[in-house]
């Protein structure tokens, strides 16, 4: 990708307009005009739109900047030259934040498939795998989701660096669920970075520490074009302390919506790039830590990286728009909010799909004559309780049949590949197979 066009210097443009009183009056009129489609446009994009009649693109850009300057709020984050970052609130930002708050607050309206503990845990693990996989893809991991899922669920060791990255991300995401009530500290950030880079670094000692002065780290492409040159290593101790104060809500002295705070934390770590490797993965993990810390429980099930990975250039451009336009973090915040909105929508669509699929399978199951009504009832129950354990005795009591009938029912379901068994002591225990839905689809 290309570095966005840098906006023009505004002082010469402003001086020219002030020299013509009539033009100055007209200029103030266009300051109040909304942008095309109410978009928050960078100079790089504004060039492709037609300016107000009688004005050039540069004059239009000046009007837009004048409109924004009174709305900005300064952040405790400075760039490497000690110039502050800032942001403002837009109508679209407020609307998306409201939707996110609503999505998190409506737990009791969610389908039973996600509210039950056993199915909730299954969605949780699946979302962790999805986030671990796609977050690693963003950093160059090359494997398939199927192989990654098989590795995690079976517990087999990783075959290569790509699989190790995915396993590390999975471990880190699980860990932040336990760490969400701890205040952010450099120790906690180091622990996350150590987790995401375990067994993947050329220099293993680079895990859990800041990069050193002689370890220059830049963000660039394969053609050696540098997109971002982060702050010097000797600034990192102080910058990390400032970031932790922000993450823990000690700064600034005005209210920042928790979601916005989490997004800024994501940007902050990525901007500072304090480690030799694992900066992007650590930044995205910190975003989740912050969201869970602020009780946005839904983000145990939401994967932002699966949205980002579909158009990684947009992700990079959101960083660059901020850096090339006077440290205006609004660009990155708006991009991130749109990613969150799409990720939540995708989660809801997935839940609806799974609900319809289960209902369809259960409906079809009623017509399967090779299973008797007791077996159909058990399998229907197993679909909704994938970790349920059944025994000859429990099945016999549930259906008021003799021991031999209960035994025959369960053994037949095992023979058909729908249940698996394990003997503990003198008792046989039966549980649904992991791919029960797939097995039933073939059966019906």
Buried b / exposed e over 426-440, threshold 16 CB at 10 Å, is eebbbbbbeebeebb
For 65, residues 6+ apart whose C-beta sits below 8 A from its C-beta are 7, 10
263 within 8 A of 333, measured Cβ to Cβ: yes
Closest CA to 287 of 191, 137, 133, 184: 184
CA dist 59 and 187 (Å) reads 49
Q: What is the pLDDT of residues 100-110, one digit of tens each?
A: 998 877 655 66
Q: Which of 7-16, 44-53, 105-114, 116-125 has the lowest mean pLDDT?
A: 105-114
Reported as half-sphere exposure (CB side, CA atoms, 13 A), residue 225 has a value of 7
* Tens of pLDDT, residues 250-301: 999 999 999 999 999 999 999 999 999 999 999 999 999 999 999 998 898 8
Confidence tier at 199 by pLDDT (50, 70, 90): very high
Going by C-alpha positions, the residue among 302, 267, 301 that lies closest to residue 286 is: 267
pLDDT at 435: 85
pTM for the structure as a whole: 0.84
Q: Which residues of 281-317 are buried (b: 16+ CB within 10 A; e: fewer)?
A: bbbbbbbbbbbbbbebebbbbbbbbbbbbeeeeebbb
Q: Set out the domains of the chain in order of their start, with CATH numbers.
A: 10-69 (no CATH), 87-352 (1.10.3290.10), 369-443 (1.10.10.10)
């Amino acid at each position: 990708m290309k570095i966005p066009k840098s906006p023009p210097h505004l002082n010469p443009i402003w001086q020219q307009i002030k020299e013509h009183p009539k033009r100055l009056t007209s200029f103030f009129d266009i300051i109040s005009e909304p942008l095309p489609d109410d978009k928050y446009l960078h100079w790089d994009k504004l060039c492709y739109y037609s300016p107000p009649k009688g004005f050039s693109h540069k004059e239009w850009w000046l009007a837009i900047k004048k409109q924004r300057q009174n709305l900005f709020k300064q952040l405790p984050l400075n760039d490497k030259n000690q110039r502050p970052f800032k942001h403002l609130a837009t109508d679209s930002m407020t609307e998306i934040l409201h939707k996110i708050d609503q999505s998190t607050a409506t737990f009791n309206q969610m389908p039973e498939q996600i509210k039950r503990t056993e199915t909730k845990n299954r969605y949780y693990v699946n979302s962790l795998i999805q986030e671990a996989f796609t977050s690693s893809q963003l950093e160059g991991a090359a494997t398939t989701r199927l192989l990654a899922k098989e590795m995690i669920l079976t517990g087999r060791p990783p075959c290569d660096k790509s699989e190790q990255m995915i396993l590390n991300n999975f471990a880190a995401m699980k860990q932040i669920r336990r760490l969400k009530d701890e205040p952010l500290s450099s120790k906690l950030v180091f622990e996350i970075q150590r987790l995401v880079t375990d067994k993947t670094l050329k220099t293993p000692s680079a895990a859990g520490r800041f990069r050193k002065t002689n370890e220059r780290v830049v963000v660039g492409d394969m053609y050696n074009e540098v997109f971002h040159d982060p702050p010097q290593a000797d600034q990192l101790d102080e910058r990390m302390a400032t970031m932790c104060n922000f993450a823990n809500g000690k700064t600034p002295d005005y209210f920042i919506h928790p979601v916005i705070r989490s997004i800024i934390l994501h940007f902050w770590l990525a901007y500072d790039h304090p480690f030799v490797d694992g900066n992007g993965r650590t930044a995205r993990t910190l975003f989740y830590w912050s969201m869970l810390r602020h009780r946005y429980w839904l983000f145990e099930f939401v994967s932002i990286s699966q949205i980002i990975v579909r158009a990684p250039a947009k992700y990079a451009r959101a960083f660059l728009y901020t850096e090339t336009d006077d440290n205006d973090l609004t660009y990155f915040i708006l991009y991130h909010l749109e990613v969150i909105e799409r990720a939540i929508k995708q989660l809801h669509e997935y839940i609806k799909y799974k609900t319809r699929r289960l209902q369809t399978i259960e409906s079809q199951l009623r017509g399967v004559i090779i299973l008797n009504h007791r077996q159909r009832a058990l399998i229907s129950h197993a679909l909704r309780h994938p970790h349920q354990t059944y025994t000859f005795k429990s099945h016999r009591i549930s259906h008021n049949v003799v021991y031999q009938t209960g035994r025959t029912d369960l053994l037949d379901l095992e023979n058909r590949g729908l249940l698996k068994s394990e003997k503990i002591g003198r008792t046989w225990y039966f549980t649904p197979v992991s791919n029960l839905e797939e097995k039933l689809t073939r059966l019906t």
